[in-house]
Chains A and B, each alone.
Chain A
Amino acid sequence: MRLVTSIYEKNDIDNLDSLIDYALINVPHLSINFKDINLDELVSYAKEKKLNIILSINRIMHPGDLKNVEALVDKYNDLLFLASDIGVLNIFKEKNMIENLIYNPETMITNYLDLGLYNDMNLNAIGVSLEITIDDLKLMYEKTKAPIYYQGFGHRLMFYSRRKLLTLYSNKNNDNYPHEGFLKEITREDYLPIVENSEGTLIYRSYLISLLKELEGLSFIKYLYIESFNVDIETFKKVSEIFYDAVINGKIREGILKLNELNLDIEDGFMYKDSVYQKEELK
């Protein structure tokens, strides 16, 4: 298992320093959640630090995006990429670079038969949906032996729209609301992180997810991804250290204790509870 850490800017590398195994750099305008960085400089900096690099280009691509994707892939053909759009997968296939691609269609791979078909493509790794149970995840691996990419820590994405919903709401009220904040459904208590950028709007779950206590049973995962979005840097440094020690040095039990001491708002998500089709099934 390798550890993948989300990187939005140069400071993230400086702050996390030796705790990064793979740096997942969010490419401006081609990934869903990004900062306006100079990509060339950041990649060079990560290379100087001898980090393994994955470039995230995980947007749904529209026709005009394809030439930018191709140019980026050609330019950084020595790096790994993370993509969510089947059209990007196809570009890697056509360039005979499929082994450079981690394909993660977020919500869409939820059974072993689909996973098996993607596994046959010889991808570097395949992202499995976070909306399945741990048992389902294990069964999918047992049936396919696929190299799996999976989120191990952080806020999980639950909504991705091309609409700029915060700008539109500002316009509706002739006001200028922030482009990042929280939504609170009026009958509930939890706060859902929301962020808008030039490419659309994202909403994350209110709570954090952690697979640390499940990690021993998930050693088959090829890449475990930890997400820093909406986690303050001091906390994320501690979390990175815990996960680095657990994943790279095998210190899981100690990590669980240390993570508990941080008192984070951690929930299990769908790890032990499958979603249902209909209201009538909610007993």
Chain B
Amino acid sequence: MSKFELLAPAGDLEKLKVAILYGADAVFIGGLKFSLRSRASNFTIADIKEACDFAHKHNAKIHVTCNIVMHNLDVDGLVEYLKELELAGVDAIIASSLYALKMVKKYTKMEAHVSTQASTANPSAIRFYKNEGFDRVVLARELNLDEIKMCKDSTPLDIEAFIHGGMCVSYSGRCMLSNNMTNRDANRGGCAHSCRWCYDLIKDNKIYNPKGDYFAMSSKDLCAITLMPKLMDIGINSFKIEGRMKSLHYIATVVNTYRKLIDEYESTGKIESFDFYINQINKAENRLTSTGFLNGDPTVNEQLYDLNLTCPTKEFVGIVKEYDSKTHMVTIEQRNYFIPHSKLEVFTPKKSFIIDVADIYDKDNNILDAARHPLEIIKFKCDTKLNPYDLLRLL
């Protein structure tokens, strides 16, 4: 087993299971209370118990975010909720509130992880949290590799770093743009992404941005593939992928890519071809990426000025639900349009391969001229055995 934890996001149980099957050592999720990402489909206590059971069966862990910045009205029931989470089998709580973190340690045996919302960016801050008895610090995303190393070298505490996904352009937890412009509090899960809106830049009544071009603040997504060996050499304990609101296909692809990369570097001490991994990621990533702060202060290349600029992605057409070994019929749940007599790529946790699909049928075995409807059950014959949670991409 790897000494590094690959930590994936999940917005629902299906995504959680996919994340684990495709290589995550741990998954972070939000419950119905105290969690940011209010628009992500958050988990009930029953869902969390099922998630923990599934994760533990696969030697994985579940971290639950309780990372809202609580107002007076929000604090009721926190301790009871933490105890419920512990009973459900949760391994760790991610929070930015000093009170919430202390309650985790006082009333449960779960680990207390300091959220990136706290913008922990130096060894002294890490020392503070260690002295409080917390178990892990998630570093601020504004640190470069040297600074991350200084933080890691300074402490025996577990250190978690972001390696992939969306980046706040502000220090996390310190942005009130959304709050002030829409009354939706980013620190309580309501971020309206006002940083991605279009602004004129004005001084002394003169508009400086050229006509048709607007000042924008948004950053490209983080992608640390080429820097993973350095981060592993530093000894980061946990590598975090952002994106509880991302799709199942995105989670499977990104998790599986980093899983294979970590395993290759850990077993061989080198990476044969970064291009292979970048190509894999590109099958799911539809936003432009950069290395964020990891190589130093961001340049123009790390900023996103045209929000319409997206990379084409391979089309995710469905997920395998079951396979009948006698009839060789595979049953899938459709996610995107495809037609009979297509070539599909089967993406599994261990390998990818190509299949030819002949006729396709609906759940009542009526022949179809196309799979048109998302979530529709589709069947087709496949001589190669497929497994539940295998993913299908259109070539």
Contacts and interface: CB of A to CB of B under 8 A. Distances in A.
Interface of A: 60-66, 85-91, 93-94, 106-108, 110-114, 116-118, 129, 131-132, 136, 139-140, 157-166, 168-169, 171-173, 175, 177-178, 180-186, 188, 191-192, 194, 203, 205, 269-270, 273-279, 282
B214 interface: yes
Interface of B: 38-39, 68-75, 96-99, 102, 118-129, 131, 140, 142-143, 147, 150-151, 154, 169-171, 173-177, 179-185, 187-190, 192, 194-195, 197-203, 208-210, 213-217, 219, 293, 297-300, 303, 305
28 contacts: A60-B171, A63-B147, A64-B147, A65-B122, A66-B122, A66-B123, A86-B120, A90-B128, A110-B71, A111-B99, A112-B75, A117-B102, A131-B187, A139-B72, A161-B217, A163-B297, A163-B298, A165-B303, A168-B300, A169-B215, A171-B299, A182-B203, A274-B71, A276-B183, A276-B190, A279-B192, A282-B182, A282-B184
Contacts, number: 231
A60 B121 contact: yes
A73 B118 CA distance: 23
A248 B189 CA distance: 40
A108 B185 contact: no
List the 9 closest pairs (A to B, CB-CB), nearest first: A87-B125, A181-B203, A87-B124, A275-B185, A90-B128, A158-B176, A63-B150, A113-B99, A183-B199
A180 B203 contact: yes
A191 B202 contact: yes
Contacts of B142: 60, 62, 162
B117 to A, nearest CB: 8
A53 B154 CA distance: 33
Contacts of A110: 69-72, 187
A274 B74 CA distance: 12
Contacts of B217: 161, 163, 165
A275 B178 CA distance: 10
A266 to B, nearest CB: 15
B203 A276 contact: no
B4 to A, nearest CB: 22
Contact of A203 (B69, B72, B177, B216): B177
Nearest to B208: A177
Given A87-B123, A114-B97, A278-B38, A63 B151 contact: yes
Given A63-B151, A184-B200, 8 more contacts: A110-B71, A163-B217, A172-B305, A181-B208, A182-B203, A184-B202, A205-B180, A275-B190
Contact of A182 (B123, B151, B202): B202
Contacts of B97: 111, 113-114
Contacts of B209: 169, 173
Nearest to B102: A117
Contacts of B181: 185, 188
A163 B219 contact: yes
A235 B217 CA distance: 32
Contacts of A93: 128
